[in-house]
């Protein structure tokens, strides 16, 4: 039986994930999973090791979880004095899960 220790996982490193985590903007809205950057940032440091293993497995197997591609799309009003019924007066933003942004 093959164990995790037998496989070579050297694509993603803990330092890479820490750097990506610090590059994420704070104070942003959570995705549909309810997680924000702050949840991961202030979690136990072992979570970074788990993300390292997850991201390396995604890379090795070439399979990304379906939930990484899902997001919540919200219309944002661009001109509050303009026509509120015009679609051109809105821009769309998509809030994705923070773990997919981390990847």
What pLDDT is recorded for position 2? 46
What pLDDT is recorded for position 25? 87
Question: Per residue in 4-36, pLDDT tens?
Answer: 554 555 788 888 888 888 888 888 888 888 888
Closest by CA to 15, choosing from 38, 39, 48, 42, is 48
| Mean pLDDT for all residues in the chain | 85
Domain coordinates in residue numbering, the chain = 4-102
What pLDDT is recorded for position 8? 54
| Most confident segment among 2-6, 23-27, 63-67, 90-94 | 90-94
The answer to whether 6 and 46 are in contact (CB under 8 A) is no
What pLDDT is recorded for position 4? 52
What pLDDT is recorded for position 20? 86
């Amino acid at each position: 039986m093959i164990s995790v220790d037998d496989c070579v996982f050297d694509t993603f490193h803990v330092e890479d994930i820490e750097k990506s985590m610090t590059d994420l903007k704070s104070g942003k809205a959570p995705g549909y999973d309810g997680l924000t950057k702050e949840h991961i940032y202030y979690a136990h440091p072992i979570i970074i090791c788990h993300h390292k293993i997850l991201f390396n497995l995604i890379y090795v197997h070439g399979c990304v979880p379906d939930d990484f591609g899902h997001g919540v799309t919200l219309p944002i009003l661009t001109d509050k004095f303009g026509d509120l019924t015009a679609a051109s007066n809105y821009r769309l933003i998509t809030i994705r899960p923070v773990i997919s942004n981390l990847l």
